[in-house]
Amino acid sequence: MSNARPVDNFVDRPTFVTHLECGLSGERYAADQLHGLSRAGRPLLVRYDLEGLQGAVSKDDLRQRPADIWRYREFLPVRRTENIVSLGENMTPLIEAPSLRAGTGGLFIKDEGRLPTGSFKARGLCLAVSMAKELGIARMAIPTNGNAGAAMAAYASRAGIEAYVFCPEDTPEVNVREIAAQGAKVWRVNGLINDCGKIVGAGKEPMGWFDCSTLKEPYRIEGKKTMGLELAEQFAWSLPDIIFYPTGGGTGLIGMWKAFQELKAIGWITGKLPRMVVVQSTGCAPIVKAWKDGVEHADLWPNAHTVASGIRVPAAVGDFLMLRAVRESGGFAIAVDDDAILAARNEVSRREGFLMCPEGAATFAAYQQAARDERLSPDETAVLFNCASGLKYELPRADASIDLTKPLDFDAMKKA
């Protein structure tokens, strides 16, 4: 039996969406129409009548609703309940990690691995597929390092939409099989995610599919925005000091910053917003380099490689939006190497019993490095994002065994 709960029914009505807007030029586009990138070739952002939204819902209203992303329905673009495609997108827990703190400030892990399909990609693809259904799309395609493809496959199957998925040939096997098992057509490609993206782009006309690449449609941001809405509510509308976010395409970082801006505009949060920290691997760090260089756009990262495949994105169409969020918040961008990522995963597992995915572990490695570099104040409360279940990734071997034909050696057990 599915554990997905029915979405809390609400009266169909126009949402508070007013228009879409190019994130670079500010050019406006009509809502309720199919859009990809803007004419400038940059992401479109959904804009709302925030004054109307403010008068339509209160914090008290939220407390009466199910603990899922649809409790924030006024902040989301789907107009009709019947078009919501849901697999039970629950509010994910904040888990305190006291033994890992670098100072006196609190340290929390937001565990996105509890979502459908085991990753935070469920948030964005849930909204993207729901809006695809609302706009009459019958076929979708996506390039993926694994988890986004799995999420699109699941939601597209539930919506009755065809799904085509392209992933680098070294994508974790569990992801490729998951994508196929959930009804999508999936291919391994002898290249990186940007190469897979070129296939999706080339197929738009001959295949008639809608390109659901990161930030090439407007609605994945709105799904990821719910991470920021949840954080605000979980911190009693007083946000943490600093957020470490594993960053590839950057949809979640951009979405959270958008959520904080919207909440501030309606008066639900006040004061200083969190410092936003981009976390990347030293094997693929285009946003870190652009931040250090003081530029607005990042160059293509050559020969990208890292054990954290989810953040192996050599080029991102929303680079300038990530960099703006970091700079406006007083944050920074930091890269950690693969050895530090794996060591961080092991440390969190052994000390807190929490198995992070490699991308999530990168945030703890970055937190440790930032503390050593004194970029993190000892009294700052920090949130690390664990973006997927650690069980979806290859783990170190555990080959110890017991031979019942021989005497039990308890001394050897103690030394193991």
The domain segmentation of the chain, as residue ranges, is 94-117+220-390
Residues of the chain with pLDDT under 50: 1-7, 9-11
Question: Sheet containing 17-22: which strands, arranged edge to edge?
Answer: 28-29, 17-22, 44-48
Q: Which two tokens stand for residue 197?
A: 């993206």
Residue 46's H or E segment, with its range, is: strand 44-48
Looking at residue 6, its pLDDT comes to: 39
Looking at residue 7, its pLDDT comes to: 45
Count, in order, helices (H) and strands (E) of the chain.
Answer: 13, 13
pLDDT tens digits along 351-383: 999 999 999 999 999 999 999 999 999 999 999
289 three-class SS: helix
Alpha helices in 285-399 (DSSP H): 286-293, 319-329, 338-352, 358-372
pLDDT tens digits along 166-224: 999 999 899 999 999 999 999 999 999 999 999 999 999 999 999 999 999 999 999 99
Distance CA 390, CA 256 (A): 23
Other Cβ atoms closer than 10 A to 93: 14
For every residue of 373-403, DSSP letters joined together read TT-S-TT--EEEEE-BBGGGS----------
User: Which residue in 396, 397, 388 sits closest to 178, CA to CA?
Assistant: 388
Residue 15 DSSP code: -
Residues in the chain: 416
Residue type, 195: D
Looking at residue 14, its pLDDT comes to: 56
- CB burial string 230-263: b at 16+ within 10 A, e below: bbbbbbeeebbbbbbbbbbbbbbbbbbbbbbebb
Could you please state the CATH topology (level 3) that the domain comprising 94-117+220-390 is classified under. Answer: Rossmann fold (3.40.50)
Q: Which two tokens stand for residue 135?
A: 């706009």
Residue 114 DSSP code: G
Distance CA 390, CA 395 (A): 8
Looking at residue 13, its pLDDT comes to: 54
- In angstroms, the Cα distances linking 120 to 48, 67, 105, 117, 333 are 24, 16, 26, 9, 21
Residue 334's H or E segment, with its range, is: strand 332-336
Positive or negative, the CA dihedral 24, 219, 256, 308 is negative
Q: How far apart are the first and last CA of the chain?
A: 41
Predicted model pTM: 0.92
Q: Which two tokens stand for residue 324?
A: 């703006």
Strand partners, 21: 28, 45
